[in-house]
Protein backbone atom coordinates (compact mmCIF):
# COMPACT_ATOMS: atom_id res chain seq x y z
CA UNK A 1 0.00 0.00 0.00
CA UNK A 2 0.87 3.67 -0.21
CA UNK A 3 3.23 5.02 2.45
CA UNK A 4 2.83 8.60 3.68
CA UNK A 5 5.65 10.35 5.50
CA UNK A 6 5.54 13.77 7.09
CA UNK A 7 8.41 15.97 8.17
CA UNK A 8 9.51 17.34 10.48
CA UNK A 9 7.81 15.33 13.24
CA UNK A 10 8.05 18.27 15.64
CA UNK A 11 8.50 21.99 15.13
CA UNK A 12 8.78 24.74 17.76
CA UNK A 13 8.61 28.35 16.58
CA UNK A 14 8.18 31.83 17.95
CA UNK A 15 5.01 33.74 17.16
CA UNK A 16 5.37 35.56 13.84
CA UNK A 17 7.71 33.00 12.26
CA UNK A 18 7.03 31.18 8.99
CA UNK A 19 7.10 27.41 8.53
CA UNK A 20 6.99 24.74 5.83
CA UNK A 21 5.60 21.26 6.48
CA UNK A 22 6.21 18.43 4.03
CA UNK A 23 4.22 15.35 3.05
CA UNK A 24 5.79 12.64 0.85
CA UNK A 25 3.84 9.74 -0.59
CA UNK A 26 5.17 6.57 -2.16
CA UNK A 27 2.84 6.19 -5.15
CA UNK A 28 0.55 8.24 -7.35
CA UNK A 29 -2.62 9.42 -5.63
CA UNK A 30 -5.89 10.93 -6.79
CA UNK A 31 -5.99 13.60 -4.13
CA UNK A 32 -4.37 14.92 -1.00
CA UNK A 33 -5.87 16.74 1.97
CA UNK A 34 -4.29 18.71 4.80
CA UNK A 35 -5.81 18.82 8.28
CA UNK A 36 -5.14 20.66 11.53
CA UNK A 37 -5.89 18.85 14.79
CA UNK A 38 -6.21 21.35 17.63
CA UNK A 39 -5.24 20.56 21.24
CA UNK A 40 -8.84 19.49 21.93
CA UNK A 41 -8.66 16.81 19.24
CA UNK A 42 -10.83 18.46 16.62
CA UNK A 43 -9.70 17.82 13.02
CA UNK A 44 -10.22 20.72 10.63
CA UNK A 45 -9.90 20.36 6.87
CA UNK A 46 -7.46 23.00 5.62
CA UNK A 47 -7.03 22.09 1.97
CA UNK A 48 -8.26 19.58 -0.59
CA UNK A 49 -5.42 19.80 -3.08
CA UNK A 50 -4.83 16.99 -5.63
CA UNK A 51 -2.38 19.22 -7.50
CA UNK A 52 -1.34 22.83 -7.87
CA UNK A 53 -1.38 25.60 -5.28
CA UNK A 54 -4.12 26.98 -3.06
CA UNK A 55 -4.10 29.79 -0.53
CA UNK A 56 -6.35 30.58 2.40
CA UNK A 57 -5.26 33.59 4.40
CA UNK A 58 -1.90 32.93 6.05
CA UNK A 59 -1.92 29.30 4.89
CA UNK A 60 -1.09 27.94 1.48
CA UNK A 61 -0.45 24.49 0.08
CA UNK A 62 1.25 23.09 -3.00
CA UNK A 63 1.02 19.55 -4.32
CA UNK A 64 3.37 18.25 -7.02
CA UNK A 65 1.69 14.94 -7.79
CA UNK A 66 4.29 13.88 -10.38
CA UNK A 67 7.03 14.17 -7.74
CA UNK A 68 4.86 12.71 -4.98
CA UNK A 69 4.98 15.45 -2.39
CA UNK A 70 2.95 18.28 -0.92
CA UNK A 71 3.96 21.30 1.13
CA UNK A 72 1.96 23.32 3.64
CA UNK A 73 3.14 26.86 4.31
CA UNK A 74 2.17 28.81 7.40
CA UNK A 75 3.16 32.47 7.48
CA UNK A 76 3.21 34.87 10.45
CA UNK A 77 2.44 32.04 12.90
CA UNK A 78 0.02 32.62 15.76
CA UNK A 79 -0.35 30.63 18.96
CA UNK A 80 -3.68 29.33 17.68
CA UNK A 81 -1.78 27.58 14.87
CA UNK A 82 -0.41 25.13 17.45
CA UNK A 83 -1.49 21.53 17.12
CA UNK A 84 -0.79 18.60 14.84
CA UNK A 85 -0.92 18.88 11.06
CA UNK A 86 -1.81 15.77 9.06
CA UNK A 87 -1.83 15.04 5.38
CA UNK A 88 -4.02 12.27 3.99
CA UNK A 89 -4.14 10.57 0.60
CA UNK A 90 -6.43 8.08 -1.09
CA UNK A 91 -5.10 4.67 -2.08
CA UNK A 92 -7.64 4.07 -4.85
CA UNK A 93 -6.44 0.54 -5.58
CA UNK A 94 -7.22 -0.48 -2.01
CA UNK A 95 -10.15 1.91 -1.44
CA UNK A 96 -8.43 3.29 1.66
CA UNK A 97 -7.62 6.69 3.09
CA UNK A 98 -4.07 6.89 4.47
CA UNK A 99 -2.97 9.51 6.99
CA UNK A 100 0.59 10.51 7.71
CA UNK A 101 1.92 10.46 11.26
CA UNK A 102 1.69 14.23 11.53
CA UNK A 103 3.83 17.26 12.33
CA UNK A 104 3.39 18.63 15.85
CA UNK A 105 3.69 22.43 15.70
CA UNK A 106 4.14 24.51 18.84
CA UNK A 107 4.02 28.31 18.54
CA UNK A 108 5.52 30.15 21.51
CA UNK A 109 4.24 33.67 22.37
| 51 contributes a contact to another protein by CB under 8 A | no
> Cα separations (Å) of 89 from 19, 21, 43, 63?
22, 16, 15, 11
Task: Specify the residue, 57 or 109, whose C-beta has the smaller distance to another protein.
Answer: 57
Interface mask (CB under 8 A) for another protein, residues 53-82, using x and -?
------------------------------
Task: Using CB under 8 A, pick the residue from 18, 20, 28, 42 that binds another protein.
Answer: 42
Contact 93, 30 (CB under 8 A): no
| 93 contributes a contact to another protein by CB under 8 A | no
List interacting residues with another protein (CB under 8 A): 30-31, 33, 35, 40-45, 48, 50, 86, 88, 90, 92, 94-102
Amino acid sequence: GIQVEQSPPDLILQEGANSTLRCNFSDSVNNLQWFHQNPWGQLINLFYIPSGTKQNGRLSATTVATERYSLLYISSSQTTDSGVYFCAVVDSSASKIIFGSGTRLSIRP
